[in-house]
Amino acid sequence: MREIKFRAWEIAKKRMLTGDQIEISFTGSSFGVYHLGESPGCLGDEEDFELDQYTGIKDKSGVEIYDGDKVSDEHGRIMQIVWCEDADEYTRKHFARWELKLLSSTEKWARNFEYADLYSWFSYSTDCLRVEVIGNIHE
């Protein structure tokens, strides 16, 4: 079972806060972000932050891959991790559903590849061992 955790992009300050810096409290569809450390307190809510969820997969260097991350592979493909909004009911209920969205590639065959299921790609492809996080949607 994959670990459920988040990181938070602070919109106004354009900075990423990770689990060792913050605690996120969920109430229904709302959330609050709280600072941990010397001066604990509420930093804001869903109007101040965007949350990225951990996929449960790490890149070749051991960096955790989150929703919204951009990754590259040895073939020059640049892909973004995106949540699949149109998954069927069974998939939504039983599986986390992220996809790889191709952003750019120098390979001619890649124009036929727009999306690939993240977990299938990482399960069956030897390329996944060479994927590297190069950024995220907020940068």
Q: What is the mean pLDDT of each run of 10 residues along the chain (139 residues)?
A: 86 92 89 84 91 88 91 82 69 59 64 60 57 90
45 in Cβ contact with 31 (< 8 Å) = yes
CB of 36 within 8 A of CB of 22? yes
Q: For tokens 């604990």, what's the residue?
A: 40
| pTM score, whole prediction | 0.78
Give which of 80, 71, 82, 73 is closest to 127, Cα–Cα. Answer: 73
- Structure confidence at residue 48 (pLDDT): 94
Task: Give the pLDDT of residue 66.
Answer: 93
Q: Where are the domains of the chain?
A: 6-136
Q: Which residue has the tokens 């670990």?
A: 3
**Which one-letter DSSP state was computed for residue 89?**
H
State residue 78's pLDDT score.
85
Q: Which region holds residue 24: left if phi is over 0, alpha if psi is between -120 and 50, else beta?
A: beta
Tokens, residue 69: 């991350």
Q: Are 7 and 50 in contact (CB under 8 A)?
A: no
